[in-house]
Amino acid sequence: DIQMTQSPSSVSASVGDRVTITCRASQGISSWLAWYQQKPGKAPKLLIYATSSLQIGVPSRFRGSGSGTDFTLTISSLQPEDFATYYCQQAHSFPFSFGPGTKVDI
Amino acid sequence: QLQLQESGPGLVKPSETLSLSCTVSGGSISSRSYYWGWIRQPPGTGLEWIGSVYYTGSTNYSPSLKSRVAISVDTSKSQFSLTLSSVTAADTAVYYCARHDQTLSGGVDVWGQGTTVTVSS
């Protein structure tokens, strides 16, 4: 089974900052990686799929990259609505799995 | 716009079986492009993938829950269901039903609103 890790577990940032979150898979997953944003009390929202494809309606300040085992989510200029928790998820093989999450706060 | 809606008891006693259903509306549950899944989130923690079912009935489960979980699909009712047996307090969580879209490389593009299940006597 594939284990997912994320770093950092939390990051403090300001509006306008560039934020980078790293996700690592325990074995190669090609490009089968998705990123989600979750705000308190809400279901997660798909931001990026297939490592770097932006889901419809997601602002272009979100960018995903990587391949194999190492992936990153970059928010180029943090906006007030971006303060949330971010999760990566592999869909390369069953059982699917999520990373533990990265909380982005002020 | 496809929507998912969870239903089921919000309180389950320890050692009993948790049963939830998810109704799919606004689209077909029988599409070849999707897996239908269950994901949970214990209070204050992250997301845990429980398992998924294809419209054919083929299932996949998390190894940590495999001995206690079953997911099934009823295409005639546009529903899929989760049962989790022998529950303990550790199974207290928000349970989400979800759609994995294979055209989005398995990403979950549609989520239910989530239903809180508490395990307590």
Distance CA(A97)–CA(A82), nearest Å, equals 23
- Cβ neighbours of A33 in B, within 8 Å: 105
Cβ-Cβ contacts under 8 Å, B95 against chain A: none
Preferred mutation among A49, A54, A86, A93 to probe B, highest tally of B CBs within 10 A: A49
Give the residue-averaged pLDDT of A6-29.
97
To the nearest whole Å, the CA of B59 is away from the closest chain A CA by 10
Residue of A nearest to B65 (CA): A95
Per-residue three-class SS string for chain B: CCEEEEECCCEECCCCCEEEEEEEECCCCCCCCEEEEEEEECCCCCCEEEEEECCCCCEEECCCCCCCEEEEEECCCCEEEEEECCCCHHHCEEEEEEEEEHHHCCEEEEECCCEEEEECC
pLDDT in tens, A51-102: 999 999 999 999 999 999 999 999 999 999 999 999 999 999 999 999 999 9
Are B47 and A44 a contacting pair at CB < 8 A? yes
Q: Do A50 and B107 touch (CB under 8 A)?
A: yes
pLDDT in tens, chain B (121 residues): 999 999 999 999 999 999 999 999 999 999 999 999 999 999 999 999 999 999 999 999 999 999 999 999 999 999 999 999 999 999 999 999 999 999 999 999 999 999 999 999 9
Tell me the per-residue pLDDT of A1-10, one tens digit each, with 9 for 90 and over.
999 999 999 9
The answer to whether residue B16 neighbours chain A at the CB level (below 8 Å) is no
What pLDDT is attached to residue A106? 81
CB within 8 Å of B56: residues ≥ 6 apart: none
